[in-house]
């Protein structure tokens, strides 16, 4: 199911084909996953979203690729995005995440969620020492 | 403000004092931040929460300390926990996070939140290739 | 699957039948979708929920019907409610939402989610100019 | 701060005064808390919201008053609603919640948030045994 | 689907078998549900998670078992955890939750979510009367 | 407070000054609100974020400006972003949102949040009629 059509011939549109070709070349795989096929219902949205993802997640940046995937997974879990958890966990494994690293990542996400709730429940005032604007 | 008392003499309780002393020793600082002062309203909850945080965040584990803080920040942002964002951003800076790394972390969190929404909006079916249970 | 029974003969209960008949008449369709069939496990909850939805979403109000559906979709995405995203996207299409409008709606929801995360990450103080209570 | 005016003379409107008087009588207090003062910017919204809260939270129902407040607190924490956490924690204390009960409530909310994240991270398939629709 | 393997022979690992046996004995059932089977990919995470759940949810504590399950359901709904809603609703029914209690629980969760949104929309300042730190 | 410095002389950096000038020109105001001042800690992030917001929210697009602001407010409420709710409610009022429209917007957001919770609680299966992929 989906809220937009998932046409088999999406690449008949040259703008869609260009993005799909770039995904295949960038990721060195023939598999264009369903998110991109769904986004193809609007070529401009497809182009912009892929450009954002490619720039930050597929190109070398300050943070190493696996750290970036782990942060992405953490956010996707917190936002309860089933598809995103699946796709980024698979991507992290491709980038070398071991089962032990996966387990530790989950432990941290779960601990953070737990203490997030405690803090919100207690409505703790922020310590002045944490304020980065003080010295500005 | 807070939903529990924040008594100045919380350490009159020896269980609270033991945890606060361990926080000071472990973190090599005199500052016991407000979360722990608030949790002191229930010494058992204080002890368990500190034990969890100490084991995963203060002791050496598989992931490096800065990566762990960045994951913690990411989850705290997604859960809209103001205090947690403040405290863990401060902690990450102590552990060496530069302004450029901070900016890249925020870019990834923001990108993940953005694509999380797109995926949820499109209700994209999960690609069978992502299923880790297949080969089990 | 569901957490309550979905009996085929829910309309044997006259209170349920009255609501289902009103849904059919109001929406000019024979299709009573699964949400209402599930809510029928408690006729009072069914009646109250339909009354709320009918008053705000099915009757003419200040905002036009398509704007209301788009707001509803936006909230449902942010709350990660799969069923709600499906049902309200379908409803918005019935009310005339084009693919281009759909894409723009998703772009705005995604942008809002992105800047929401940035703002929460930065813990920006609210500008006094935004305070509506000042002039009261 | 607030996004709507908080006029001191809100009760000059008889519809607002009627709701405020009912809040005072129902709760046996002179204090009309800020939520209601803010909602007074739209008397119809004020009336409907108070009617909902009064029916479910102020009148006797199946669940006991303290259990209802604890559920309300739990949801408010999960939704990161600062004001709601404050107001319902205060209400629960008025209804007899002890510090030990408060601590246990927070422990359960925190545990649920933790396991919610683990489950979402693992994308565990639902056991058929949990399906209530089977026997329908 | 899942993001970790769900091997049929998970209990070949004695640490996993010990936890599964304790789950069966504690819950007086042969059914070890999928969450635990998925967590078995990391025996330490499995042991810690079950220890937390057993201590708080399976052992007698201050709050009665059904209240605890209802709070757990409420949090799981707010966090949009499909599996958790299924498993804890089933558990609550085993502990005696009637359809009428279920309906009232959902009414409270829905009302809380509704007023949470209104309060967040209005950005209502917290009443000083709600501050528990004042008297400390 | 904030997690990054808010220097008074941010515009000493020509990239920051260029963005601030464009914000002032685009919005026809001298007021550059705090979000942009905070984002200035990383000029690239500032430039990209403003480019996204300007393209979608400040330029003419398919949806009318007020509808866009209302969708933005709805998402910001659901994500519990205090600053965002303040800034976009103020922006919507500048674009003509009346108190009555504001109240109706909040009613819809609150109703959506309420039914989102009910649907998640019931785990209602999606009706096949809602599937947009069928006809693809």
- For every residue of C9-42, which 3-state class applies, written as one string? CHHHCHHHHHHHHHHHHHHCCCCCCHHHHHHCCC
Q: Select from D4, D131, D135 the Cβ nearest to the Cβ of C132.
A: D4
pLDDT of residue C135: 54
Distances in Å between the Cα of E100 and the Cα atoms of A133, C39, D61 are 52, 12, 10
pLDDT of residue E134: 75
Give the nearest chain E residue to A81 (CA atoms).
E80
Alpha carbon of F132: minimum distance to chain A alpha carbons (Å):
5
Picking from C4-8, C39-43, C61-65, C74-78, which range would have the lowest pLDDT averaged per residue? C4-8
Q: What average pLDDT does the segment D100-127 reach? A: 98
Picking from B1, B2, B3, B133 by the largest number of D CB atoms within 10 A of its own CB, the best residue to mutate is B3
* Cβ within 8 Å, pair D109-A123: no
pLDDT of residue E22: 98
Alpha carbon of D20: minimum distance to chain A alpha carbons (Å):
27
Query: ∠ CA C121-C123-C125 to the nearest 5 degrees?
Result: 155
Task: Indicate if the pLDDT at residue E136 is higher than 50.
Answer: no
* Cβ within 8 Å, pair C57-F108: yes
Contact list, C76 vs chain A (CB under 8 Å)? none
Task: Indicate if the pLDDT at residue B5 is higher than 50.
Answer: yes
Burial class of residue F59, CB neighbours in 10 A (0-12, 13-18, 19+)? exposed
Helices (H), chain F: 14-27, 34-39, 43-53, 65-78, 82-94, 99-122
Per the listing, tokens 């990383």 go with F42
Alpha carbon of E116: minimum distance to chain B alpha carbons (Å):
14
Contact list, C3 vs chain D (CB under 8 Å)? 130, 132
Confidence band for A136, pLDDT divided at 50, 70 and 90: very low
Three-state DSSP class for F123?
coil
Residue pair F81/C119 in contact (Cβ under 8 Å)? The answer is yes
Task: Indicate if the pLDDT at residue A43 is higher than 60.
Answer: yes
Residue D60 token pair: 């006797």
Confidence band for C26, pLDDT divided at 50, 70 and 90: very high
Picking from C120-134, D106-120, F64-78, which range would have the lowest pLDDT averaged per residue? C120-134
Distance CA A46, CA A38 (A): 9
* Cβ within 8 Å, pair F3-B99: no
Burial class of residue F41, CB neighbours in 10 A (0-12, 13-18, 19+)? buried
- Give the model confidence (pLDDT) of F44-86 as tens digits: 999 999 999 999 999 999 999 999 999 999 999 999 999 999 9
Give residue ranges of E with CB < 8 Å to any C CB: 80, 85-86, 89-90, 99-100, 102-103, 106-107, 117, 125
* Cβ within 8 Å, pair A123-D86: yes
- Give the model confidence (pLDDT) of F108-118 as tens digits: 999 999 999 99
Residue percentage of chain B with pLDDT more than 90: 95
Task: Indicate if the pLDDT at residue A83 is higher than 80.
Answer: yes
Residue pair D117/A110 in contact (Cβ under 8 Å)? The answer is yes
Distance CA E71, CA D105 (A): 8
Residue pair F132/C89 in contact (Cβ under 8 Å)? The answer is yes
- Non-local CB neighbours of C92 within 8 Å, separated by 6+ positions: C66, C69, C70, C73, C102
Per the listing, tokens 């432990």 go with A107
What ipTM score was computed for the predicted complex, to two decimals?
0.96
Distance CA E20, CA C52 (A): 46
Residue C57 token pair: 């979403």
- Give the model confidence (pLDDT) of E26-39 as tens digits: 999 999 999 999 99
Give the nearest chain E residue to F116 (CA atoms).
E110
pLDDT, greater one: C135 or A126: A126
Task: Indicate if the pLDDT at residue E135 is higher than 60.
Answer: no
- Give the model confidence (pLDDT) of F32-45 as tens digits: 999 999 999 999 99
Give the nearest chain B residue to E78 (CA atoms).
B79
Distance CA F103, CA C75 (A): 16
- Non-local CB neighbours of F4 within 8 Å, separated by 6+ positions: A132, A133, B99, B102, C122, F38, F41
pLDDT of residue A37: 97
φ/ψ of residue D6, rounded to 5: -120, 70
Task: Indicate if the pLDDT at residue A113 is higher than 90.
Answer: yes
- Give the model confidence (pLDDT) of B8-66 as tens digits: 999 999 999 999 999 999 999 999 999 999 999 999 999 999 999 999 999 999 999 99
Distance CA B70, CA B92 (A): 7
Distance CA F31, CA F96 (A): 19
Residue percentage of chain E with pLDDT more than 70: 99
pLDDT of residue F135: 54
Distance CA B93, CA B100 (A): 11
Task: Indicate if the pLDDT at residue B134 is higher than 90.
Answer: no
Give the nearest chain B residue to F48 (CA atoms).
B107
Neighbours of E, requiring at least 3 CB pairs below 8 Å, are A, B, C, D, F
- Give the model confidence (pLDDT) of E67-77 as tens digits: 999 999 999 99
Contact list, C5 vs chain D (CB under 8 Å)? 132-133, 135-136
Contact list, F116 vs chain E (CB under 8 Å)? 113
Three-state DSSP class for E53?
helix
In this structure, how many other beta carbons lie within 10 angstroms of the beta carbon of residue E96? Answer: 11
Distance CA C34, CA F21 (A): 52
The pTM of this model reads 0.97
pLDDT of residue C40: 98
User: What length does chain E have?
Assistant: 136
Closest CA to D90 of D79, D80, D102, D81: D102
Q: Select from D77, D111, D121 the Cβ nearest to the Cβ of A120.
A: D77
Contact list, B110 vs chain C (CB under 8 Å)? 114-115, 117-118, 121
Q: What average pLDDT does the segment E119-124 reach? A: 97
Contact list, B41 vs chain D (CB under 8 Å)? 99, 102-103
Task: Indicate if the pLDDT at residue A129 is higher than 50.
Answer: yes
Q: What is the end-to-end Cα distance of chain C in Å, rounded?
A: 51
Neighbours of A, requiring at least 3 CB pairs below 8 Å, are B, C, D, E, F
Helix C99-122 × helix B65-78 angle, to 10°: 120
Distance CA B13, CA B47 (A): 12
Q: What is the end-to-end Cα distance of chain D in Å, rounded?
A: 51
Q: Select from F6, F7, F132 the Cβ nearest to the Cβ of A4.
A: F132
CB pairs under 8 A between B and D: 24
Distance CA B18, CA E1 (A): 45
Helices (H), chain B: 14-27, 34-39, 43-53, 65-78, 82-94, 99-122
- Give the model confidence (pLDDT) of E7-22 as tens digits: 899 999 999 999 999 9
Confidence band for A133, pLDDT divided at 50, 70 and 90: confident
Looking at every residue in chain E, the average pLDDT score rounds to: 96
Looking at every residue in chain D, the average pLDDT score rounds to: 96
pLDDT of residue D133: 85
Could you list the beta-strand ranges (E) of C1-136. none
Exposure string (b/e) for A36-55, b if CB count within 10 Å is 16 or more? bbbbbbbbebbbbbbebbee
Task: Indicate if the pLDDT at residue A10 is higher than 60.
Answer: yes
Distance CA A88, CA B75 (A): 15
Task: Indicate if the pLDDT at residue C136 is higher than 50.
Answer: no
Give the nearest chain B residue to F43 (CA atoms).
B103
Task: Indicate if the pLDDT at residue C75 is higher than 90.
Answer: yes
- Tell me the torsion sign for CA atoms F58, F63, F65, F68: negative
Cα torsion D79, D82, D87, D89 to 10°: value is 70
């Amino acid at each position: 199911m989906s809220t937009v059509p998932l046409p088999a011939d999406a690449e008949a549109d040259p703008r869609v084909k260009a993005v799909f070709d770039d995904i295949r070349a960038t990721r060195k795989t023939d598999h264009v996953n369903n998110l991109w096929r769904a986004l193809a219902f609007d070529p401009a949205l497809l182009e912009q979203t892929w450009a954002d993802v490619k720039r930050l997640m597929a190109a070398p940046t300050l943070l190493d690729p696996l750290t970036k995937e782990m942060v992405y997974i953490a956010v996707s879990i917190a936002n309860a995005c089933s598809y995103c958890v699946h796709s980024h966990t698979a991507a992290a494994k491709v980038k070398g995440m071991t089962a032990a690293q996966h387990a530790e990542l989950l432990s941290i996400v779960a601990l953070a969620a737990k203490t997030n709730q405690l803090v919100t429940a207690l409505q703790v005032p922020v310590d002045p020492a944490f304020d980065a604007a003080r010295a500005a």
